[in-house]
A = this chain, B = another copy of it.
Amino acid sequence: MSGGTDGYSVGDVARIAKVTVRTLHHYDRIGLLSPVGRTPAGYRLYQDRDLDRLQRILFYRALGFSLDEVAAILDDPQSSPRDHLRRQHALLKERIRQLEELAEAVEHAMEAEKMGIQLTPEEKFELFGPDYDEAWEQEAEQRWGDTDAWKESQRRTGSYSKEDWRRIQLEADALNERIAAAMAAGEAPDGEAGMDLAEQHRQHICENFYDCTFEIHRGIASLYVGDPRFTANLDKVAPGLAQWLHDAMLANATRAGH
C-alpha cells in the first residue's frame, strides 16, 4: 500500500509529511483533513490533493494559526494555490522583519548592559514591542539542541570569568580614552584616524560580544546620540564624545561600503 495509484495510507503520509499518525487521526476527527476514501477494511486513503492540503495546514500552523483558523483560511473558496504561496511569502517576510526588530532590541539591551545603563521595567518588555510577536512555540531542545547558534551560544556561555569581564571593560575604557584624545587633538571623526578608531570599536564588540556587522554598528551609533542615557554615559568620558564617535562610526561603515 505504499503509495500506489490507489492512494497513500496514514503511515505513508506521516512519513512524507513528517508528522505522526496520531496527528492525522486528529485532523481527520476534527474535519480539518479527511481523506477522500477508505479501503473496504476501513483504512484511510489519502490522495495528492490531501497532501497539498496537509502541506498548507502545516505551514499555517507553523505560523501560529490555530487549527480553526487554518480551516477558515483553507476553506476560503476564493484562494487558489497561487494565493496561498503569495500569502505565505508575505507572512514569512513579515515574521522575518519582526524577528529582526527583536534582534535589534536585543542588541540595544546588550549595549545598555555593557555600559551599565539601567532600563526601566517597561522598557525591558518593549523588547516584545508594540507588535509583540510572542509564541511560535514547541520544538526547542531536540531541534534547537543541535543548532549552530545554540551551540555557539552554549560554547561561549560561562566561558568568561569575572577577570575576563574586567579586562574587557578596561579595554573599552582605554579605547574610549584614545577616542577622546583624538577628538581633543582636533581630528575629524570622518578622517582616517576617526574611522580607524570606530573600526577598533566594532572589532572590540566582535571579539568579545557578538558578530557586529556594519549595519548593527550603525544602529549602535544612532543609539549613542539618540538615547540620552548612552549619550550621557559617553560624554562622561569627554563632552561631545558620543556625537564624535557616532560620526566616526557612520563614516567607517560607509567606507566599508554600507
A103 to chain B, nearest CB (A): 4
Contact B135 A137 (CB under 8 A): yes
Q: Which residues of B contact A16 (CB under 8 A)?
A: 121-122, 125
Instruction: Report A's interface with B, CB cutoff 8 A.
Output: 3, 8, 16-18, 48, 51-52, 55, 58-59, 61-66, 69, 78-79, 81-83, 85-96, 99-100, 102-103, 106-107, 109-110, 113-114, 121-122, 124-125, 127-128, 131-141, 143-144, 147-150, 152-154, 156-158, 160, 165, 209-210
A201 to chain B, nearest CB (A): 18
CA A69 to CA B138, docked complex, whole Å: 11
Q: Which residues of B contact A122 (CB under 8 A)?
A: 16
Contact A69 B140 (CB under 8 A): yes
Contact A96 B94 (CB under 8 A): no
Contact of A153 among B90, B132, B156 (CB under 8 A): B90
Contact of A138 among B94, B114, B135, B209 (CB under 8 A): B135
- A17, A81, A139, most chain B CB atoms within 10 A: A139
A186 to chain B, nearest CB (A): 36
Apart from A64-B139, A64-B143, list 16 A-B contacts with CB within 8 A.
A16-B121, A18-B128, A52-B124, A59-B128, A64-B140, A64-B144, A65-B144, A85-B106, A87-B150, A87-B157, A89-B107, A91-B149, A92-B99, A131-B147, A136-B137, A137-B137
